[in-house]
Amino acid sequence: MSQPRLSIVIPAYNESARIDATLARVLECVGNRHWDAEILVVDDGSTDTTVSAIQAWMARAPQVKLIRNPGNRGKGYSVRNGLLQASGDIVMFTDADLSAPIEEAERLFEAIDAGADVAIGSRWLDKQKQTVHQPIYRRFFGRCFNGVTRGLIGLPYKDTQCGFKAFRREAAQTIFRLQTIERWGFDPEILFIARKLKYTIVEVPVTWGHDERSRISYLKDGTKMLEEMAEIRANSLRGRYDKAIAAMRDTSTMITPQVEHAKHLKAL
């Protein structure tokens, strides 16, 4: 069986209320646009009927596949688990709420086809594309967090947190094997790693609408994300990323990429 051109990864945790609508929308888009695509839904230890809903879709849509995490591990773990098992030439992930319409993925694919290694969706490059705006306090937190990522780990992008990113498969296999952060703060780490590897990263404006059902806590999760930014900086100052990259480039250490392989970075 030939490999698909595209892999669409959707992390999901207790998404029974919207997973049916999400998969219906994604499959409709794939069909209408004639994308050669697989759809990988990564269940992060859901306790509701998310898994059975996905399995029902699998029975009638062969493009849909289910990956199950060993319990609840976090969004970063889910994205990594999905992208490392994806087989498309271009791999991407999108949030289950489809705040960025799946049709906008075409913009990411075009950037990859034009030569980018990584294409990241941005809510802030063109504010007119925001169909439903965030509350003021969320916008304030987002701007503060973006300022921290610029100052602490040197990321120059307007939007690191948009859950809508695409990669050349080879780039994803390298970046995500080096990832260590498994929850909300993983986005800046993968971009930091991509820059360290000299990959070409393009920020792409996308249509986006805020979903009030977002589960992120701007106090609890925000504090944790700031701690994770400090962890990224500390790892970098200690040379841990450089050592892990050097180890990967040693052909004697190259192994079939799976999610557990990022553990070698923590051990260095």
What is d(CA 150, CA 233) in angstroms, rounded to the nearest whole number?
A: 11
Counting the structural domains of the chain, the total is: 1
- 8 Å CB contact between 115 and 127: no
* pLDDT score, position 253: 45
The secondary structure of residue 133, as a DSSP letter, is: P
Has residue 1 been placed in a domain?
no
What is d(CA 159, CA 181) in angstroms, rounded to the nearest whole number?
A: 18
Has residue 86 been placed in a domain?
yes
Has residue 17 been placed in a domain?
yes
* pLDDT score, position 263: 46
Q: Is 145 helix (H, G, I), strand (E, B) or coil?
A: helix
* Residue 147 belongs to domain with CATH number: 3.90.550.10
Has residue 240 been placed in a domain?
yes
Has residue 34 been placed in a domain?
yes
Has residue 177 been placed in a domain?
yes
Token pair recorded at residue 258: 């799976």
Helices 186-196, 136-153: axis angle to 10 degrees equals 30
What is d(CA 111, CA 205) in angstroms, rounded to the nearest whole number?
A: 11
* pLDDT score, position 141: 64
Bridging pattern class, strands 164-168 and 90-94: antiparallel
Has residue 199 been placed in a domain?
yes
Residue 162 φ/ψ region, left for φ over 0, alpha for ψ in the -120 to 50 degree band, beta for the rest: beta
Tens of pLDDT along the chain (268 residues)? 579 999 999 999 999 999 999 999 999 999 999 999 999 999 999 999 999 999 999 999 999 999 999 999 999 999 999 999 999 999 999 999 999 999 999 999 999 999 999 999 998 776 666 555 555 656 656 666 677 777 788 999 989 988 999 999 999 999 999 999 998 789 999 999 999 999 999 999 999 775 555 556 555 666 788 899 899 999 999 999 999 999 998 854 444 444 444 444 454 4
- State the residue range of the domain holding 188: 6-267
Name the β-bridge partners of 208.
130
Q: What's the chain's length in residues?
A: 268
What is the CB neighbour count within 10 angstroms for residue 121?
A: 27
Has residue 239 been placed in a domain?
yes
What is the CB neighbour count within 10 angstroms for residue 247?
A: 15
What is d(CA 118, CA 175) in angstroms, rounded to the nearest whole number?
A: 10
